[in-house]
């Protein structure tokens, strides 16, 4: 017997009930298969979550249909194809495509489900879609919209310090509000990554807090051809040290104390791990720097070198790290895939390409941004005041499924 206490401002009873159901399922599987790895049970939990999401989707659809049957027929002047109208955020800009309602009381998730193919086509064309001015309850409708477009949402919270709100919805990764979070394609340093990302604005910051987005195709085109060739031919090696006194230790990152389990997961993720003295560890992995979009074949800059290379840190942080650690023990750093250094000037050119292509807009309460993760990188500007966003990711892919550029 036991009980679970939770913050009712963050979670609803249905989410807690689902959490307890997953816990019971996990315990049942552990008792039945005590010699298995924890990672072997992840798919069972994900399947249970998908079943719940599908049941909820059907329930909402049935309720909507019941309401529909109760309506009296009346003439609707707005044609179906004009229930939603499109525009550009600024004159001549293709990123993002802005969609707004052209009819009252429009159920956006239901409309999106019926127009999924069109939305996918527009997303691939523009790289991002901003849904604005719809009458939405973010807590209820954000997850519904993400599921309407993508039935396979990412449910693993992993190492990142954020809250799982249920049904594949999370809070953003914590990052100090006074700092700029540089442009990146989500999880592009991992072997697996989401092809689709959704951001939903519950409460915009008092000042700042914008989410700049950049067309990864334009970033690729702007980078000097020689630099681009060197990155494309060699890839990027990401090196991470755990337990050096800065950042998370490997037990927290991998959520286990079992070294065999860590080694097993590293092999699956195409990652090398080296055990060091004092309970420390170092991982290395090599990933592409650019890929071709799986649908259009367009070349996109797709990596996180600017998040790992020490030259991209603010001056004070870089000086502190270089004063305390030798280069091989930096908490994070990156090199070309063959282990040779990436010159600071090359990273400066990459950052400049992002600056030239980024599009910035101020969040409005109720905004939802849908992003193609290969075509569009995102960032976050410093902010003041309370800022509440929701995040969902889905359509998981791996580098085995795309061609390098």
Where residue 297 falls (left for φ over 0; alpha for ψ -120 to 50; beta otherwise) is left
Q: State how far the alpha carbon of 330 is from the alpha carbons of 124, 176, 203, 325, in Å.
A: 38, 20, 36, 6
Residue 217, pLDDT score: 97
Band the pLDDT of 365: cuts 50, 70, 90: very high
Q: State how far the alpha carbon of 229 is from the alpha carbons of 188, 221, 280, 302, in Å.
A: 19, 11, 35, 14
Pick the more confident residue, 267 or 5: 267
Residue 17, pLDDT score: 79
**289, two tokens:** 């720097």
Q: Residue 44 in contact with residue 29, Cβ under 8 Å?
A: yes
Band the pLDDT of 163: cuts 50, 70, 90: low
**Residue 236 φ then ψ, to 5°:** -125, 130
Tally of CB atoms within 10 A around 315: 7
CA distance 363 to 386: 13
Tally of CB atoms within 10 A around 280: 16
How many CA atoms lie within 13 Å of 95's alpha carbon, on the beta-carbon side? 22
Among 186, 153, 151, which residue's Cα sits nearest to residue 172? 186
> What CATH class does 76-405 carry?
alpha beta
β-strands 358-359, 192-203 pairing: unpaired
Location of structure tokens 């990027």 = 236
Angle, alpha carbons 70-73-78 (nearest 5°): 120
Residue 76, pLDDT score: 46
pLDDT digits (tens, 9 = 90+) for 208-246: 999 999 999 999 999 999 999 999 999 999 999 998 677
CA distance 357 to 213: 8
CA distance 207 to 381: 10
**Residue 329 φ then ψ, to 5°:** -105, 10
Q: What is the mean pLDDT of residues 259-266?
A: 95
- Alpha-helix runs per DSSP H in 224-343: 225-234, 250-254, 259-268, 305-308, 315-324
pLDDT digits (tens, 9 = 90+) for 11-56: 777 778 778 877 887 888 888 788 877 767 766 776 677 677 666 6
Residue 78, pLDDT score: 44
Say yes or no to pLDDT of 165 above 50.
yes
Angle, alpha carbons 405-172-161 (nearest 5°): 100
CA distance 190 to 232: 17
**Residue positions counted in the chain:** 405
CA distance 379 to 377: 7
CA distance 230 to 331: 25
CA 252 from chain center: how many Å? 20
Say yes or no to pLDDT of 402 above 60.
yes
Tally of CB atoms within 10 A around 216: 30
Per domain, the residue ranges of the chain are: 13-70, 76-405
Q: Residue 348 in contact with residue 179, Cβ under 8 Å?
A: no
Q: What is the mean pLDDT of residues 189-218?
A: 95
pLDDT digits (tens, 9 = 90+) for 103-121: 988 999 999 999 999 999 9
Among 236, 189, 64, which residue's Cα sits nearest to residue 228? 236
Q: Residue 369 in contact with residue 211, Cβ under 8 Å?
A: yes
Band the pLDDT of 347: cuts 50, 70, 90: very high
Residue 262, pLDDT score: 95
Residue 396, pLDDT score: 92
Beta bridge partners of 301: 290
Residue 270, judged by CB atoms within 10 A of its CB (0-12, 13-18, 19+), counts as middle
**178, two tokens:** 């006074």
pLDDT digits (tens, 9 = 90+) for 44-97: 776 677 677 666 666 655 665 565 555 555 544 444 458 999 999 887 778 999
pLDDT digits (tens, 9 = 90+) for 306-325: 999 999 999 999 999 999 99
Tally of CB atoms within 10 A around 108: 20
């Amino acid at each position: 017997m036991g009980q679970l206490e939770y913050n009712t401002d963050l979670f609803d009873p249905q989410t807690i009930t689902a959490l307890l159901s997953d816990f019971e399922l996990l315990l049942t599987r552990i008792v039945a298969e005590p010699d298995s790895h924890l990672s072997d049970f992840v798919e069972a939990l994900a399947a249970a979550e998908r079943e719940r999401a599908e049941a909820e989707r059907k329930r909402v659809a049935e309720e909507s249909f019941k309401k529909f049957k109760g309506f009296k027929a009346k003439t609707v002047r707005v044609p179906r194809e004009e229930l939603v109208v499109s525009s550009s955020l600024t004159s001549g800009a293709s990123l993002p495509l802005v969609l707004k309602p052209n009819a009252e009381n429009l159920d956006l998730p239901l409309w999106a489900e019926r127009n999924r193919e069109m939305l996918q086509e527009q997303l691939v064309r523009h790289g991002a879609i901003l849904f604005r001015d719809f009458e939405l309850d973010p807590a209820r409708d954000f997850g519904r919209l993400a599921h309407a477009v993508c039935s396979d949402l990412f449910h693993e919270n992993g190492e990142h310090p954020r809250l799982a709100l249920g049904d594949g919805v999370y809070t953003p990764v914590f990052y100090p509000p006074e700092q700029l979070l540089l442009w990146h394609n989500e999880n592009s340093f991992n072997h697996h990554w989401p092809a689709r990302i959704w951001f939903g604005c519950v409460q915009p910051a008092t000042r700042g807090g914008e989410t700049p987005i950049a067309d990864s195709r334009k970033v690729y085109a702007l980078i000097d051809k020689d630099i681009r060739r060197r990155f494309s031919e060699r890839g990027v090696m990401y090196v991470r040290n755990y337990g050096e006194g800065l950042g998370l230790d490997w037990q927290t990152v991998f959520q286990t104390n079992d070294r065999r389990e860590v080694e097993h997961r590293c092999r699956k993720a195409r990652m090398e791990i080296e055990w060091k003295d004092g309970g420390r560890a170092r991982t290395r992995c090599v990933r592409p720097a650019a890929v071709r979009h799986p649908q259009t074949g367009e070349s996109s800059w797709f990596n996180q070198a600017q998040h790992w290379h020490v030259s991209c840190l603010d001056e004070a942080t870089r000086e502190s790290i270089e004063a305390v650690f030798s280069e091989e023990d930096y908490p994070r750093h990156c090199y070309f895939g063959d282990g040779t250094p990436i010159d600071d000037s090359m990273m400066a050119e990459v950052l400049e390409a992002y600056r030239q292509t980024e599009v910035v807009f101020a969040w409005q309460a109720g905004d939802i941004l849908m992003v193609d993760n290969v075509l569009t990188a995102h960032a976050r500007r410093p902010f003041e005041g309370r800022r509440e966003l929701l995040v969902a990711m889905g359509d998981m892919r791996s580098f085995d499924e795309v061609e390098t550029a």
